[in-house]
Every structure is written in C-alpha cells, then in structure tokens.
Amino acid sequence: MERITPNVFTETKIRGCNPGIVFTSEGAVFIDSAQILTYLLDTIEFARSRGDIKYLINTEPHIDHIFGNHWFAGVCPVIAHEKINKDFFLVPGTMDGYDYSVDVLTRQDPKGLEHMPSREKYIVNRPQITFSENMTLKVGEHTFMLYHTPGHSDSQIAVYVPEERVVFVGDTVFSDCQLWLHSANIEELLKSLEFIHTLDVDYVIPGHGPVVTKSYLEEQIAFIQEWIKAVDQGIKKGWSKEECIKEISFADRFPVDIGQDEMMDYIQRTNVVKCFDYLEAQRIHP
Ligand SMILES: [Zn+2]
C-alpha cells in the first residue's frame, strides 16, 4: 500500500475504490474495502500483521466500496451513514450485486475468484453502527470525525482524522479520472466540497485517483461547474436532453479510473442527464 502519513495507508492503483487503513494504538481502522479480492485479502493480512482490526467505515453504498464487507463479518463492526441501507449492494444495470462482483473478478482478478464464496455463503454485511449527521469515534490516540457529506450519494460521508491531517472523502472527489455524477445531487455535492475545504488537512484521499491536496477540491468544483455550463449552453441553444447527450462530452479530459474504460459513454450520458435535470429544477425553483 502507499504510505501517506506514518499511520495512514491507501492504494490508488487498483480497480475499484481507493481503500484506506489508519493504524491506531489499538488496531487498524479500514475506510472502505478493496474490490479486487486478491488485494483485499492482502490488505487484511497486512493489517493483521500489525494487530487487531477495530472497525470498517464505509464512505458510500456503491459496490466498489462495500463488496469487501463480507470479509469483515465477525471481525469488526461496520460503520456508515444510516441512509446507506437504501442503496446498499445495488448496482446499475440488470445484474445483482453478487453476479456483478463475480463478473468483475472473472474478468479482472481470476485468482481472487477462487476465494469468492457461493451466493448462499456470501454475507451482505450491512453496517451495524449508523449515524444521521456526524459521529466522532475515538480509537487509541486517534480521532475519526465522520461527517455527512451528501452529493455523490445521499449517504456519503467524509472521514477526517485530525491527528494525521488527512480526510478520506470517497467519491466526493475523483482525481485525474472521470467524474461520475450518475447518482449525484449536484447542489449538495458542491456544498460538501466547500465544507471539506474548511478542514485543516494536508491530504485528501479521494474515492478514485491519486491522493491530492486541498487545492484539488477547487479544481473538482470548477470541473463540475464546467459540466453544468456546457449543458446550460446546450439548453440555451434549444437542445433537448437527447441532443445534449449527443453533443456534450468531456471524455477527452480524463481517462476512466483503472479497469473501467467501457463505462466512458455511460458516464458522459448520465453526467449530462444529471446536469440537465439540475438546471431544469433550478428554472422551476430558482
Ligand atoms: Zn461511488
């Protein structure tokens, strides 16, 4: 894993979310769990070689952040925002969460597939501890401040660890890769980015892409505004939603995060739809 501070590790070069570990004097706290099973099992072993695993915190319900929860069942409690249950283990498209995960492993981690339990044995390990606004967790000498930062998803949280000057933001930030707005509330997303900017941190650990500093939050806000502006200009030209989808794309700006190139068209289309609906709603309720 990449060492970010003396006690904070993450991995940004694998398919799926960037999983994080914070080592405290009482044991490890995981932030999300890797989707590539071979890698997940390695990270669990890495943590165990240093002591107990105390908690797993999920920053959002999307499958690439919670698929690995099975391997924490009976190991430690899972913590997340209370709204996470609504979308937990759901995936876009026709597959369910289990088949989707098997498909990913078959294509991208055949060695990991050998460790995938049967459907009957796989535990959809929902959080045992939830909160509605914010929550503070003390583990050893470390403080974990969990903030509800809705936008990318409505149960999105940020995990701020002041002793390490680090915040884990999940998919509120996509650094140097395509931004997914498919499940976003744009107004809330922008507010949450502004809020995260107020935290006193050296590192922002995004859901996807390399670890960044706070200045990237401004770039992320600017990119979202660029998306909105492009769609707004389309609307002003009289384009319908379908025409906006056809004409507007930021595909040349960034690659899709590792191992998901086939999602480029889906991202462009759903981002246009989200921006279009956001602008329409503003016209009705400015
Ligand atoms: Zn996500």
pLDDT at 71: 98
Please tell me what DSSP assigns to residue 157: E
The pLDDT-based confidence of 52 (bands split at 50, 70, 90) is very high
Taking residues 29-50, what's their average pLDDT?
A: 96
Helix or strand or coil: residue 279?
A: helix
Q: Does domain 2-215 have CATH number 1.10.10.10?
A: no
Tens of pLDDT, residues 179-200: 999 999 999 999 999 999 999 9
Looking at residue 279, its amino acid is L
Whether residue 11 is predicted with pLDDT greater than 80 in this model: the reply is: yes
Distance 248 CA to ligand 1 centre (A): 22
Q: How far is the CA of 151 from the centre of ligand 1 (A)?
A: 10
85-94 residue pLDDT tens: 999 998 888 8
Question: Whole-angstrom Cα distance, residue 174 to residue 283?
Answer: 28
Q: Which amino acid is at 62?
A: H
DSSP state letter for 130: E
How far apart CA 19 and CA 60 sit, in angstroms, is 12
CA distances (Å), origin 58, targets 17, 85, 108, 185, 226: 11, 11, 23, 19, 29
Instruction: Determine the distance separating the centroid of ligand 1 and the alpha carbon of 5, expressed in angstroms.
Output: 25
Closest residue by Cα to residue 173 from 133, 230, 211: 211
Neighbouring-strand partners of residue 206: 170
Q: Which tokens sit at 98?
A: 């289990």
Report the separation in Å between the CA atom of 236 and the middle of ligand 1, taken as the mean of its atom positions.
Answer: 31
- Band (pLDDT 50/70/90 cuts) for residue 231 is very high
Query: In angstroms, what is the span from residue 29 Cα to ligand 1's centroid?
Result: 20
Where do you find CATH 3.60.15.10 in the chain? 2-215
Q: What is the DSSP string of 188-251?
A: HHHHHHHHHHTS--SEEEEEESS-B-THHHHHHHHHHHHHHHHHHHHHHTT--HHHHHHH---T
Residues ≥6 apart with Cβ < 8 Å to 133: 148
CB atoms within 10 A of CB 139: 18
> Closest by alpha carbon to 34, among 47, 13, 19, 48?
19
Question: Which pLDDT does position 90 carry in this prediction?
Answer: 87
- Residues 30-36: what's their mean pLDDT? 95
pLDDT at 22 exceeding the cut of 90: yes
pLDDT confidence band for 251 (50 / 70 / 90)? very high
The average pLDDT across 108-131 equals 97
Tell me what pLDDT residue 284 has.
Answer: 86
Q: Residue 42's Cα: distance from chain center in Å?
A: 20
Task: Give the Å distance between the CA of 62 and the centre of ligand 1.
Answer: 5
* Cα-to-centroid distance, 220 and ligand 1 (Å): 15
Is 90 exceeded by the pLDDT of residue 283?
A: no
Average confidence (pLDDT) over 208-228: 98
The arithmetic mean of pLDDT across residues 257-261, rounded, is 90
Q: How far is the CA of 49 from the centre of ligand 1 (A)?
A: 30
Across residues 135-158, what is the average pLDDT?
98
Q: Is the pLDDT of residue 275 over 80?
A: yes
Query: What pTM was estimated for this model as a whole?
Result: 0.96
Q: For residue 286, is pLDDT > 80?
A: no
Neighbours of ion ligand 1 (CB under 5 A): 62, 171
Q: How confident is the model at residue 163 (pLDDT cuts 50, 70, 90)?
A: very high
| Cβ 79 vs Cβ 55: under 8 Å | yes
Q: Distance between CA atoms of 281 and 271, rounded to whole angstroms?
A: 15
Give dist(CA 215, CA 226) in Å, integer: 17
Using the mean position of ligand 1's atoms as its centre, give its distance from the Cα of residue 260 in Å: 13
- pLDDT above 70 covers what percent of the chain? 100
| CA of residue 60 to ligand 1 center, whole Å | 6
- What is the percent of the chain where pLDDT is above 90? 95
Average pLDDT, the chain: 96
Q: What is the pLDDT of residue 119?
A: 97
237 CA to centre of ligand 1 in angstroms: 32
What is the mean predicted confidence (pLDDT) over 31-40? 96
Cα–Cα distance, 79 to 196 (Å, whole number): 20
